Structure 1
Amino acid sequence: MKRLSFIAVALCFTFASCESELTEPLDEKNITIETLSEEIPEPDISEPEVVAVHERSARVGPWSDIISENFSSNSNIDDNWIRTHGRYDYNSDLCYYVRWSPRLETLDGRQCLRLAAWKNGNTYRSGHVKSRKKFYPRRNEDIWVGASIKLLAKDGAGYKGFNDTYGAWPAFWTVNEDPGVWPTQGEIDMMEGYSFGGSARFARNLFYGTQTGNNLLDNRLERRYEVSEGWHTYSMLWRNRNGAVDCHIYLDGQWLGVYWSGSDNDLNMEAFKDHNLILNLNIGDKHGIFNNSQINIFSTMNMYVDWVSVRRRDNNL
């Protein structure tokens, strides 16, 4: 979600398009939550047939959890995540993040974190969360990152798909978000969605630069892919093999491609480190991607997250 990249949408949330109903944190004690019957699945990372960079054969250890989140309680949200409050999105002067947008709800029988966006005067209130824990693959270590996400808009008493909205920009990504760092320690976008009122675009991307605020890659490493409406698992396998680093991107367990330092002359994957995991739902932009006068997210735009997982394992070549 570069300083020109972010996250999107999901479902069910009955409130009006004025902030007066949402100026205080929601009474989370009164939210009914269903218990998940399913556990977070094991990483689905069957190696692709194409060997892009490094030799695939490796002796690997068992997976262990860095982040294992199925959003079982509201206290876990604040224990494990920072709910951004009082800040505009990097890429939009219309989208203002408030801490009461992310909350727990149920959708399709699943207990979820929901990021909601709604219109507030001439701007939009929305949600952004980042993990408290940071991670990256040390030497001879694999990191797997995944989340199950659904984007859905509320339209009065009914619902609209993500493709029906215009101007929504959801994202699932990793970056070191500390001030004065971006993009010197890299950014990995597993999912960025852009809605255009009848169509949508999804993409993966990488950003990197040697000086703060100066991305050397422009948008050269953006790779688009198709996503249908509904639940999807977005994931990556981030590997360090004897000091050489690469990153494989997956959609629903299907391999989409790989990045490594040779992907671009200006890319140094070995500098990517200390990343937070971020989920956010941006509305509008200041780069000309959308016509901000045409934004339409109906009553609310929502990004539902069923689970998030970050796991590590040793790999000894």
Structure 2
Amino acid sequence: MKKLSLLSLAMTYLIGFASCSDNTAPLSESQLTNVNANKSTGKVASAPWVKQFEDTFNVGSNLSQWTKEQRTDYNSPYCDYNSSVPTTQWRDGKQCLEIKTTKLSTSKYRSGFISSNYQYKPENNTEYMLSANIKLVAMDGGTYKSFTETYGAWPAFWTVQGNGWPTKGEIDIMEGYSFAPNTSRFASNLFYGTAVGTNLLGNSAERNYPGSFNINANNGWHLYESFWKMKDNVVTVTIKVDNITVATYTNSGTAKLNLNNFGPHSIVFNMNVGSKDSSFIDPNKINLFSTVMMWVDDVTVYKRPI
């Protein structure tokens, strides 16, 4: 999620993207909710990986490891985040974090934004592995719809240091954009700058998911990962989806990027709706049916020496 500084709410981003091949036929309700077809892709790392953080979002949890935002999204006047929206629910036979949208009026949607109180940054000769299992799905009354059938949804899984953004960087592991009847798009991205409120990278670090990525595969569940390491003071960030590398970032690969200045970062899940840029997301076309939801089965952070 491209996050704007509180000091520069009027700032906008130029969004660059390309199509992914996920424009498949809509899934039936039975396909979307078949627990037997939806085995967990939970990450369990063996030595020398050591677990640093985990939330399995057990139903009844008060989400005490997280901060829930109450504000309008910095990138969209159509989306208001409410602290009551992030909840824990049984979904697909799993205990999940659920972030769901609700249409309040023709120009307002209520949604959720949650960031971890836990923060991390690799020390020299260490690597961190952040993993989350996520499903994006819509509902039309009591009927499940594919995320690909919606228009105007903007879910994201990312890490950031919000204070002084973007001087401590931002790592977007997954940003999804729905544009039905056209193909939905998914990408990773980085943001960085030396002055508060000024991103020096534009979208030069945006990397589209591979064309083989299908949001409806594996019953809609996918494993999203960020590997963040420092080896002999050289920093590398690698993004993977379902164990396939989406992007590998180094300072030499992107002009004006300085990964050594990144962090410490919190983990963020949110569901934005619409955009300030009507040429990117046309507010007159927004269609989320009854709701679009992000389900997160689990999130873990592991660390190892390298």
Trace 1:116-135 onto structure 2 (pairs within 5 A).
116-121=100-105, 122-135=107-120
Which residue in 2 is equivalent to 1:88? Answer: 72
Which residue in 2 is equivalent to 1:74? Answer: 60
Q: Confirm or deny that 1:299 pairs with 2:290.
A: yes
Q: Residues of 1 paired with 2:140 and 2:290: CA distance?
A: 5
Distance change (3 Å), C-alpha of 1:153 and 1:39: closer
Residue 168 of structure 1: which of 153, 157, 178 is its match? 153
Structure 1 residue 42 displacement after superposition: 2.1
Q: Tell me how large the CA RMSD over aligned residues is.
A: 1.8
TM-score (ref. length: structure 2): 0.83
Contact residue 40 and residue 70 of structure 1 kept, 8 A: no
Which residue identity is paired with 2:185? R
Q: Residues of 1 paired with 2:143 and 2:268: CA distance?
A: 29
Structure 1 residue 278 displacement after superposition: 0.2
Structure 1 residue 161 displacement after superposition: 0.6
Q: Confirm or deny that 1:266 pairs with 2:253.
A: no
Contact residue 94 and residue 297 of structure 2 kept, 8 A: yes
TM-score (ref. length: structure 1): 0.80
Which residue in 2 is equivalent to 1:2? Answer: 2
Trace 1:54-73 onto structure 2 (pairs within 5 A).
62-73=48-59
Residue 235 of structure 1: which of 203, 208, 225 is its match? 225
Residue 138 of structure 1: which of 109, 115, 123 is its match? 123
Which residue in 1 is equivalent to 2:7? Answer: none
Larger mean CA deviation between 96-105 and 275-284 belongs to 96-105
Which residue in 2 is equivalent to 1:19? Answer: none
Q: Residues of 2 paired with 1:209 and 1:184: CA distance?
A: 5
Structure 1 residue 132 displacement after superposition: 0.3
Distance change (3 Å), C-alpha of 1:39 and 1:149: closer
Which residue identity is paired with 2:55? E
Which residue in 1 is equivalent to 2:170? Answer: 187
Trace 1:186-265 onto structure 2 (pairs within 5 A).
186-198=169-181, 199-225=183-209, 226-229=213-216, 230-265=220-255
Which residue in 2 is equivalent to 1:42? Answer: 44
Contact residue 51 and residue 300 of structure 2 kept, 8 A: yes
Query: Which deviations, in whole Å up to 9, do the C-alpha atoms of 1:112-168 show, x marking residues without a partner?
Result: 110000100230000110000110111111010110000001101101111100000
**How many residues are paired up?**
264
Structure 1 residue 257 displacement after superposition: 2.5
Structure 1 residue 40 displacement after superposition: 4.0
Which residue identity is paired with 1:227? N
Q: Residues of 2 paired with 1:256 and 1:196: CA distance?
A: 21
Structure 1 residue 63 displacement after superposition: 1.6
Structure 1 residue 73 displacement after superposition: 4.2
Q: Residues of 1 paired with 2:289 and 2:178: CA distance?
A: 13
Q: Any idea what SS the aligned residue of 2:298 has? A: strand
Q: Any idea what SS the aligned residue of 1:166 has? A: coil
Which residue identity is paired with 1:251? V
Which residue in 2 is equivalent to 1:111? Answer: 95
Contact residue 89 and residue 96 of structure 1 kept, 8 A: yes
Q: Any idea what SS the aligned residue of 1:236 has? A: strand
Structure 1 residue 311 displacement after superposition: 1.3
Which residue in 1 is equivalent to 2:20? Answer: none
Return 5+ residue gaps in structure 1 as ranges: 6-36, 45-60
Q: Residues of 2 paired with 1:156 and 1:128: CA distance?
A: 24
Poorly superposed stretches of 4+, deviation over 3 Å: 37-40, 73-76
Which residue in 2 is equivalent to 1:308? Answer: 299
Query: Which deviations, in whole Å up to 9, do the C-alpha atoms of 1:18-65 show, x marking residues without a partner?
Result: xxxxxxxxxxxxxxxxxxx97942259xxxxxxxxxxxxxxxx62222
Q: Residues of 1 paired with 2:133 and 2:95: CA distance?
A: 12
Which residue identity is paired with 2:170? E
Identity %: 41
Which residue in 1 is equivalent to 2:84? Answer: 100
Residue 152 of structure 1: which of 137, 145, 161 is its match? 137
Q: Any idea what SS the aligned residue of 2:260 has? A: helix
Structure 1 residue 314 displacement after superposition: 1.5
Q: Residues of 1 paired with 2:272 and 2:179: CA distance?
A: 14
